A and B are shown apart, each in its own frame.
Chain A
Amino acid sequence: MPTITLEVQDRGKAIPLLEAALQRQAAYVELGVAKTRKRLQAFEQQYGCTLAEADTSGVTIDPLDRVEWEGEAEMLQRLEMEKAVLVTVRICA
């Protein structure tokens, strides 16, 4: 794993602060993940299928809905990647 170095004034105080900050950020991203999943589910309920199914079965999707639906799907991937980065940070004291 790549390593980055931080310069701090007080190692003993900085480490728990950094750990808490990482946990808080991960929790915040998790909220975003949940919100994004909910919006994806709403589209699936509205159209009665997944986006992939809609494309193969020729379901007509409102153009702005399509952009939102595709955007939510990509948003979910990006948020999950962001969360994975945050939760795998290891502080080496």
Chain B
Amino acid sequence: MRIEEYFQQIDATLVLFPQVVLKTMRYDHRSETKGFIRGVLLFDDGSELHVREFVDVSADIERFKAGIERFKYAYHYMRSERLIFRYDNAARDFATYPHHKHVGEVIEASPALGRPNRCFAVGRFFGLKMPKPSLRCRVVPYFQ
């Protein structure tokens, strides 16, 4: 897979979510297989998901599904300028290091954010903990 295909899959998947009323996604190619995504999804209730993903699609296919590794990420969900939660894998000392989750001021251990067999951002994110039932999304066969 090339990084361009991964970016196209994300764009195509986001279109499937009517809750996302506005998206500002920047796809930054660094090589044929590596890139960076920086974006904001604005939901119909006014909440926002800020996304950062450094992606390598030439990863060890034995360890990462379809050879896709999100080696550094943050999914920062906020409403009215207030953090609701954030998953990221910035360097910190956790049992699940480097994966963890911020809920307000509290930091919790969290398993690695999943294999990308669910939809991008909204699905794989809100599938773990739903802040609002209406935001629950369908599971979309993202990488099939």
A residues contacting B by CB (< 8 A) are 25, 28-29, 32, 35-36, 63-64, 66-68, 70-72, 74-75, 78-79, 82
Contacts and interface: CB of A to CB of B under 8 A. Distances in A.
Q: Which 8 A-B pairs have the closest CB atoms?
A: A71-B72, A32-B30, A71-B54, A67-B74, A29-B31, A32-B31, A66-B90, A67-B90
B76 A64 contact: yes
Interface of B: 28-34, 36, 38, 50, 52, 54, 56, 58, 71-74, 76, 86, 88-91, 102
B91 A70 contact: yes
Nearest to A83: B31
A37 to B, nearest CB: 11
A45 B52 CA distance: 21
B30 A64 contact: no
Contacts of A82: 31, 33-34, 58
Given A75-B36, A79-B30, A79-B31, A63 B74 contact: yes
Contacts of A75: 30, 34, 36, 54, 72
B54 A36 contact: no
B90 A74 contact: no
Most chain B CB within a 10 A radius of its CB, from A36, A64, A67, A74: A67
Nearest to B58: A82
A74 B74 CA distance: 15
A32 B54 CA distance: 13
A63 B86 contact: yes
8 contacts: A25-B32, A29-B31, A32-B30, A35-B28, A67-B89, A70-B90, A70-B91, A79-B31
Contacts of A66: 90
